[in-house]
Structure 1
Amino acid sequence: MNKWMRAALKALTYSEPDLKKNYKLYRAVNNTIVTPVKRIYEVSDYKISLDEADIPVRIFEPKEKRSEEVFLFFHGGGWVTGNIDSYTKPCASLANNTGRRVLSVDYRLAPEYPFPCGLNDCYQAALTIYQNSGEFQLHPEQIVLMGDSAGGNLAACVSLMARDRGDFQVKRQILLYPAAGNDHSDDSQFASVREFGKDYLLTSKRIRDYIDLYISNKEDLENPYFAPLLAEDLSRQPETLIVTAEYDPLRDEGEAYGKKLALQGNPVMLHRMKDALHGFFTLPQRFVHVQKTYRLVDDFLRGGACYAE
């Protein structure tokens, strides 16, 4: 990355308002819908009715269906921002570029609904879809859990929870630059937090602010359903693709999670996206990192996973 790009990123990073004081502003900006000039997707909306709430699910149909596999997608946003509307373009592009349907799940956001509320919403939505797969015209083995950032965290935790509860079996999961650990301090054990935690848009302070807004109490920081990297037993997890970003403070914990999964006998494909920043998957589909992600996803789903750095 050249010095001019670094300078621009630094200026952008330090011009942002305080997250904890202004999370509603962040949410309003991030959740703004920008309607494409040309409609590139076909969608249908469903609601999964639970005792606590109705969970919206948006189904994106690809222009050309090339596989019966379906992505069950959880959006990012630090558990505080984002929704299925703000992720319409990424999910529509994912469907069209991979030829697979995308089921995008909305979940309730913190701090109004703190941990484990959002996770429970995602789990209950997944459980409903797995147990009523015929209504969605799919087979449970065709479902691929997927998410980016906080959504990658939720996908990983849903997989762990499914194994622990025995309600359904996840065959494959795709985690894009996931939050996996609980150490984002200035002296973190992860070099990426120390090296890229200040001048690369997503700062270590903002990560800590997101976490403070998400958790119910400090004890949650030690819960594997919050930080899956802490799980001692990672056996019987799905085939996994993890894609990290080179200049992302979350890079090393995502890669550590992939390595720990592999060490405990799970097939893992691990790829670090060169010159990429956190959140790159939400960029327009013409960007090289987005296109490369589609190719990685295709390769992973066609050939399965084998451990790779």
Structure 2
Amino acid sequence: MAINKAMKMALKALSYTDLDIKKNYKFHRQLKTATHPFLKTRYKIWDHKIEKDNHEIPVRLFFPKKYREGKPKRILIFFHGGGWVTGNIDSYSNVCANMADQTGAVVVSVDYRLAPEHRFPSGLEDCYTATREIFKNADYFSTDKENIILIGDSAGGNLAAAVSLLARDRGEFKISKQILIYPATHNDHSDETGFPSIRKFGRDYLLTSKRIRDYMDLYISSENDLKNPYLAPLLAEDLSNQPDTLIITAEYDPLRDEGEAYGEKLRKHGNKVYIYRMKNALHGFISLPKHFVHVKRTYEIINKFLDNELFIQ
């Protein structure tokens, strides 16, 4: 359904462009968890912790109600959104449970450390460590390593892309596929950034450009981080040897153009990429209930990508 005048007015009222995320990020964390209640008893899950240096990385495994018949057993390693500042295993558990059921894969949700208590690259290193451990223990899941796929939304899509770059550069494991859902890929979200979607949808469409800038300010350790391709993958000079990539963007999302630009740049560097723009969609739509048309369409596309059925140029 297209966005009409009444809906635009409602979105504008909900966008809270003057809200100071920097002062209220703890409240937003609590609100996000409270508004996404999760009943563990309804799903087959397993909570686990991965040791890293002097801390533990919680992960939650979601098992599908039944595996898709005739398909290889897969693992989807999921990094949640929330601007690197909000979100956790619980607030995304309904998303991950539906993801497992819709794809027939085991979904591993990574509860990486959040900023500003743990700034860049802390959360990224947690995601990388969790991914490396899953690759090391692929036999435990009776899964071939080529069937281990990265997936993330928004800031989580940013982290998935960065983990793929780190994996190539460190050479400890090889990722075959990644799925980036409306990912953040750039370092500048001002009106001067050059991306029309920032100027056109950066105020009255729930996620605002101000909020993105506030999140990034909380995430970075210093201004020098803004030049780091592991923080802003679109800045990478070399994007060769990256996984087959599916990028799904939202039509009314300020991050739309930079996500699509990342896909185009990956393609120019010789990678297989499929870019799909979800019509009439807002940022964050993957968290909607599973019966919503955008969610259903997303899993149709994801399953085709996983089964190598998409035409990839």
Partner of 2:28: 26
Amino acid of the structure 1 residue aligned with 2:25: Y
For residues 127-185 of structure 1, the C-alpha deviation after alignment (integer angstroms, 9 at most, x for no partner) is 11111222343221110100000000000000000000101000000000000011201
Partner letter of residue 49 of structure 2? K
Q: Who is 1:53 aligned against?
A: 55
Runs of 5+ unmatched residues, structure 2: none
| Residue in 1 that maps onto 2:255 | 250
The CA RMSD over aligned residues, in Å, is 1.4
Distance in 2, matches of 1:15 and 1:189, equals 21
SS at match of 2:150: strand
Q: Equivalent residue of 2:129, what SS?
A: helix
Aligned partner of 1:104 in structure 2 is: 109
The residue type equivalent to 1:127 in the other structure is R
The aligned counterpart of 2:144 is 139
- CA shift at 1:15, angstroms? 7.3
Q: Report what 2:291 is aligned to.
A: 286
Matched position secondary structure for 1:43: strand
- Whole-angstrom CA distance in 2 between matches of 1:307 and 1:120: 30
- Shifted more, 214-223 versus 58-67: the winner is 58-67
- CA offsets 1:96-151 (integer angstroms, 9 cap, x no match): 11111101111000000000000000001111111122234322111010000000
Aligned 8 A contact 2:67 2:105 in 1: yes
Shift of 1:39: 5.1
In structure 1, C-alpha distance between the alignment counterparts of 2:141 and 2:233, rounded to whole Å: 29
Partner of 2:182: 177
What amino acid is aligned across from residue 31 of structure 1 in structure 2?
T
1:272 aligned counterpart, secondary structure: strand
Unmatched 5+ stretches in structure 1: none
Quick one: distance in 1 between partners of 2:257 and 2:7?
A: 22
Aligned pairs for 1:1-309 (under 5 A) are 1-14=3-16, 17-32=19-34, 33-36=36-39, 40-66=42-68, 67=71, 68-303=73-308, 306-307=311-312
Give the share of equivalent positions with the same residue, in percent: 60
User: 3-state DSSP class of the match of 2:13?
Assistant: helix
Question: What SS does the corresponding residue of 2:192 show, helix, strand or coil?
Answer: coil
- Alignment coverage as a number of residue pairs: 307
Q: Say which SS state the counterpart of residue 191 (structure 2) adopts.
A: coil
- The CA distance in 1 between the partners of 2:280 and 2:18, in whole Å, is 23
Q: Judge conservation of contact 2:75–2:108 (CA < 8 Å) in 1.
A: yes
Q: Deviations over 1:252-302 (max 9, x none)?
A: 000000000011110001000000000000111011000000000011111
TM-score by length of 2: 0.95
Distance 2:252 2:145 in 1: 36
Q: CA deviation at 1:304?
A: 5.4
Compute the TM-score of the two structures, normalised by the length of structure 1.
Answer: 0.96
SS in 2 for 1:253: helix
Contact 2:187 2:226 in 1 (8 A): yes
Q: Distance in 1 between matches of 2:312 and 2:195?
A: 21
Question: 1:201: Cα distance to partner?
Answer: 0.5
Where do 4+ consecutive residues of structure 1 move more than 6 Å? none
Mapped partners of 2:54, 2:302: distance in 1: 34
Q: Which digits, 9 at most, give the CA deviation of each residue in 1:174-217, with x for residues without a partner?
A: 00000001120122210000100000010000000000000000
State the 1:35 CA deviation: 3.2
Distance 1:71 1:285, change over 3 A: same
Kept in 2, the 8 Å contact 1:267–1:306? The answer is no
Query: Matched residue of 1:56: which SS?
Result: strand
